[in-house]
Amino acid sequence: MLAGAAPARSPRTALLVIQEKGPSRDIDMKVRDHLAERGFTVRIADQDAEPATAKDVDLVIISSTISSKDVKPGWRTLPVPLLTWENDILDDLAMTGKRHDADFGEAEKERYLWIVNAPQPMAAGLPAGVVNVYGKQAAMSWGRPGLGATTIATIYGQPEKAAIFGYEKGATMDYEAIAPARRVMMFLNNDSFANLSPAGLKLFDAAIDWTVGGGR
């Protein structure tokens, strides 16, 4: 190393939790490849992995291809930044209440979000208002987060359905749970990563960066 040169930053490690034998594995691999292109070292874990396997990573991502009933409960309290687009696990993570189609769910045939918190980094520099996030209409996950959350965007025309939201470390989530590290939910479903528009991909990257940026 040259005198005075800063040491090279070690690559950040992300653990991507998926359904290894599921029908949408190819889409999960596109997510993996995209993260790798952005400088992450990506490890893959099956949906029944023990949360302790993530204790040494910088970021946990739980894909919606998992079956929530097969996911171990310890992810809620894991002190590692976590992002998911599986709406059916939001209650298990204490990110929303427990009522399906009331506290969390999926909206069919959507294409637009409403950016409501443009100054926040997860808005990716996009202006307030309507943004087209899909190449074609597709399902969107949503949740109704607790009071400690920061909501970035809602499904267009459905302001009660948050499509991107996050909790800062130490913020109060649902059930009076305290976020052990940053927690973020996004609007994707099983197959929609490949359907993201350029603006949608910007939002995805911004959510990843904000989640991991808080550290442990």
Tell me: the pLDDT tens digits for 96-150?
999 999 999 999 999 999 999 999 999 999 999 999 999 999 999 999 999 999 9
Q: Based on C-alpha coordinates, what's the Rg of the chain? A: 16
* Local structure of residue 100 (DSSP, 8 states): B
- Per-residue pLDDT averaged across 35-57, rounded? 97
Q: Is 165 buried (19+), middle (13-18) or exposed (0-12) by CB count in 10 A?
A: buried
Q: Would you state the CATH architecture of domain 13-213?
A: 3-Layer(aba) Sandwich (3.40)
CB atoms under 10 Å from CB of 117, counted, come to 16
| Residue 133 near residue 112 (C-beta atoms within 8 A) | yes
* Local structure of residue 103 (DSSP, 8 states): T
| Residue 199 near residue 126 (C-beta atoms within 8 A) | yes
Cβ contacts of residue 128 below 8 Å, gap of 6+?
115, 116, 118
| Residue 15 near residue 57 (C-beta atoms within 8 A) | yes
pLDDT score of 9 = 56
When pLDDT is cut at 50, 70 and 90, the band that residue 214 belongs to is: confident
Residue 81 has pLDDT above 60, yes or no: yes
Percent of the chain residues past pLDDT 70, beyond the cut:
95
pTM listed for this prediction: 0.94
147 vs 27, 77, 151, 195, 202, CA distance in Å? 33, 19, 10, 31, 26
State the average pLDDT for the chain.
Answer: 95
